[in-house]
Amino acid sequence: LAQTVLKMGDNQAKTNVAGQTDDVFAKLVADKSGGRIKIEVYHNAQLGEETEMIQQIQYGSLDLAQVSLSPLVEFEGSLNVLQMPYLYRNADHFWKVMSGTIGDQFLASMSGSGIVGLAWVDGGARSFYTIKKPIKQIGDLKGLKIRVQQSSLMLGMVKAMGAVPVALPYADVYSALQSGVIDGAENNYPSYVDSSHYEVAKNYTDDHHTMVPDLIIMSAKKLASLPKADQDLIRECAKLAQKDHHVRWQEASAKAEKTARDAGSSIIVLDDITDFQKAVQPLYDDPSIGGAYKPWVEKIRAVK
Ligand code: GCU
């Protein structure tokens, strides 16, 4: 039987909950195709960081990747609204949107960029963490250099909150924290721990400013070159991996939070995030950002 070998990259450790999802996906595809389709997964940004992988997917020199929505927005602008700060009420609301018809519509709308979106990978909420000054109120962010993902909306968000954004690929953040080039960063608990950022930046403020999912993406050229039945099989397995990941996510996140606490991180729980929400309101009022996405913002907020 002819074998199709596909290459897939991510920037997570093999032990990270999202990294594991790529292995789950590869195994599903292998099993369901009776070993005919083989996905070779390369973790830890071995094939490049996210922006490089997205470019390779576009050119067709890489078949599959798992990347964050934030850098993907620079290639597929339609996804930007999904990472607006404080858009979702809570994790359940977020996941209802992503796993429902709205999420499906956004995956399907990724056309023309050469990139096919196959599935969402839950990333929970992202929150700030700092080396020295703990963030207890919005004013504490003033002047701090905070790493953000390579995304103009995230640069704008951190600026609106009074801090100085520094865009860096994920793999460069640890040394930037260690050398003091930045004062802090922001991420979900599993990433905070698996990247070892928690060893250096010990103040974690649970402000949940964004819920940014990852996506399993594929080169449109490559997908179209496969027989229809194989395309369907790959799409189905990605959706199964999406579900499997969501089931594992909550536990992985709680476990990472505990690891951070046990290692001496202090977790700052904010009773009131109104000032944080107020600070980002200009993004919603900006006609080219929130203004342009208003119908979607309303549709998303209406999901109960
Ligand atoms: C999370 C996300 C990654 C992303 C990273 C980042 O870990 O899952 O895809 O690269 O955040 O902050 O860059």
Q: What are phi and psi of 213, to 5 degrees?
A: -80, 160
In DSSP terms, which residues pair with 63 in a beta bridge?
none
- Measured in Å, residue 88 CA sits from the centre of ligand 1 at 19
Nearest one of 171, 201, 194 to 186, comparing CA atoms: 201
CB-based burial of residue 276 (10 Å sphere; 0-12 exposed, 13-18 middle, 19+ buried)? buried
Residue length of the chain: 304
Q: How far is it, in rounded angstroms, from Cα 278 to Cα 65?
A: 36
The first and second tokens of residue 189, run together, are 């608990």
Atom of ligand 1 nearest to the CA of 147: 12
Q: What is the pLDDT of residue 97?
A: 98
Nearest one of 98, 127, 85 to 256, comparing CA atoms: 127
> Where are the extended beta strands (E) located within the chain?
4-9, 37-42, 64-68, 115-121, 126-130, 145-148, 164-167, 184-187, 203-210, 214-219, 266-268
Atom of ligand 1 nearest to the CA of 185: 12
- Measured in Å, residue 208 CA sits from the centre of ligand 1 at 15
Among all chains, which residue has been given the structure tokens 């023309």? 112
Candidate from 191, 194, 211, 212 with most ligand 1 atoms within 8 A of CB, to mutate = 191
- Measured in Å, residue 191 CA sits from the centre of ligand 1 at 7
Global pTM?
0.97
Q: What is the pLDDT of residue 1?
A: 66
Q: How far is it, in rounded angstroms, from Cα 304 to Cα 205?
A: 27
Nearest one of 58, 89, 87, 53 to 71, comparing CA atoms: 53
Contact 226, 83 (CB under 8 A): no
Contact 221, 290 (CB under 8 A): no
Contact 94, 150 (CB under 8 A): no
Q: What are phi and psi of 212, to 5 degrees?
A: -115, 110
Q: What are phi and psi of 287, to 5 degrees?
A: -60, -25
Among all chains, which residue has been given the structure tokens 């309101």? 281
Residue-wise pLDDT for 147-197, tens only, equals 999 999 999 999 999 999 999 999 999 999 999 999 999 999 999 999 999
Query: H or E segment at 55?
Result: helix 50-59
Low pLDDT (below 70) residues in the chain: 1-2
Reduced to 3 states, what is the DSSP secondary structure of residue 217?
strand
Which residue has a Cα nearest atom 3 of ligand 1?
A: 68
